[in-house]
Amino acid sequence: MTRRIETLAAAAGSIMLASGWRRALIAFAAGAASALAMPPFSLWPVLALTFPVAVWLIDGAAGATKGRTLLSAAGAGWCFGFGYFLAGLWWIGSAFLVDADVFGWLLPFAVAGLPAGLALFHALGFALARALWSGTPARVLAFAAALGLAETARGHILTGFPWNAFGYALADQAWLGQFASVVGVEGLTFLALAIFAAPAALADARPAKRGVAFAVAALAALAVFGGVRLGLAETGFDTRVSVRAIQPEIPQDMKSQDAARDTIMDAYVALSDEARGPDRRGFADANLLVWPESAFPFLLSRTPEALARIAQSLEPGATLVTGAVRGERAADGSGATFWNAVHLVGDDGAIDDTYDKLHLVPFGEYLPFQSLLEAIGLEQLTRLQGGFASGTRANLITLPQGPRFRPLICYEAIFPWEITPGDRPDFLLNVTNDAWFGRTPGPYQHAAQARVRAVEQGLPLVRSANGGISMVVDAYGRTISSLPLGERGVVDAQLPLPIGSTAYYSTSGLLFLIFPVLFVLVAIRARRRV
């Protein structure tokens, strides 16, 4: 054991003494390896190797002045973050190849530019950690507090992009992830940083066995909490609602072709009616059909023949929930406004309710400074003149059978704090179109993050994805039924029931703040005692 600690100490010393390009390369490699903790790999123990490297890099930050020392730490943080986001988000470039003639030239900027920008948050986190630094094992908590706060900021600043927050390394594991029902993925991020950075203390001159033991105990406590919670959990089902979510696997380039409207509608109807006898005209045995985001290359609300076909196919009492683009002309006829929406369509073909997407994707659904950038020839990926407008309210939609659901369109499902306010629904419904990204890690990561919302809220989740992963999940995040990525078909299930309000829901998701406050206090106390 002593020899292993000596070897670890030697490795830590080498990392701390590294300078120049070697230091940058070590940071980049550690960040890139950290991405293996995310789906589809989910090799979460790798963080116990990469986070200690991050701590040692901060240990080795040096400069003639305090400002230069902080700048050295920030540089290591940027390289770490750039490696992490480049390795974890490279698949975003696939969207720029769907219409390669128009957007292909932007692929390098998307693949490298987004990680470079997001890495600034990690640079800030490393610098803040160095400002709280001490030569004691408590510096691990300074690291966890600072980088955790940087990750929290990443989820909110400039509309926010909390994709692949470190907490998902724990949240994606059945037992370890149940504590999200208390502190959310934000709290699990702080815990993951503290737990997996703890081995850095083993390389100290006086090994901090107590701190490492505490980290092991914390990981065990998460597992026990999750095991007990799941062991006592019983999934109930709403006998009023049978769900069929379709996964049509329609190529993204076809979805924008007006000439393909009949082919697309035929595919939806055929899947929705799959496995029915030839004498049955309706949609399976389900009374809730779910079609994916932006299902049609036309405005459903302005296409009466499409609504008539839906009405003809629906069984009496059945309902369709579908993604669709919605448009309205200006009163003076000068133009139109468009929304990415969800429609509730009754068995008479009428649109009974609508939800307009609130949180739009920058550069995908709109351009910042839309008019200015359009004037110089730029477009968002949807190529809609003027971009989509944002919805104005997070309204719930009530099914004729009684349950209410909160619609989440596409990546709205990665923002946990946007679900908490307001009335509590009976379930979450996520429609998405991950066909933009093909068979890459992106759809796996998206589905995993959506599933964590169920754990946080104590609500079941119904998900229909075109070219993604469709599923029905219970209120504990357990998959009831699903389809793998790349498979065309349907997901059939009885609608799971919600459970009582979780601690996360009851506290509006604010309990996670306990961790940065506690960690900072301990770090400051340790620094003053040095």
Under 8 Å between Cβ of 120 and 78: yes
- Establish whether 209 is a catalytic residue: no
- Establish whether 79 is a catalytic residue: no
Rounded to an integer, what distance in angstroms lies between the CA atom of residue 473 and that of residue 318? 21
In Å, how far are 107, 255, 520 from 99, measured between CA atoms? 11, 12, 48
**Six token digits for residue 170:** 């724990």
Instruction: With H, G, I as helix, E, B as strand and everything else as coil, classify residue 9.
Output: helix
Residue 295 phi, psi dihedral angles, 5° rounding: -65, -25
Among candidates 19, 27, 16, 22, which has minimal Cα distance to 85? 27
In Å, how far are 29, 177, 206, 218, 226 from 182, measured between CA atoms? 33, 10, 35, 15, 11
**Six token digits for residue 72:** 């050295």
Exposure string of 204-224, with b = 16+ CB inside 10 Å and e = fewer, is beebbeebbebbeeebeebbe
**Six token digits for residue 40:** 């589809």
- Of these residues, 151, 186, 255, 357, which one is catalytic? 357
Under 8 Å between Cβ of 469 and 444: yes
Rounded to an integer, what distance in angstroms lies between the CA atom of residue 463 and that of residue 218? 33
Under 8 Å between Cβ of 487 and 446: no
Give residue 427's identity as a one-letter amino acid code.
F
Among candidates 192, 184, 229, which has minimal Cα distance to 508? 184
Enter the DSSP assignment of 502: P
Q: How many residues does the chain have?
A: 530
The DSSP code sequence of 355-422 is EE-SSPPBTTTB-TTHHHHHHTT---TT--TT-PPPPS----EE-TTS-EEEEEEGGGGG-GGGTSSS
Residue 499 phi, psi dihedral angles, 5° rounding: -110, 180
In Å, how far are 176, 221, 431, 432, 528 from 407, measured between CA atoms? 27, 34, 8, 11, 50
- Of these residues, 249, 293, 412, 456, which one is catalytic? 293
- Of these residues, 186, 410, 412, 456, which one is catalytic? 410
Give residue 370's identity as a one-letter amino acid code.
Q
Catalytic residues: 293, 357, 410
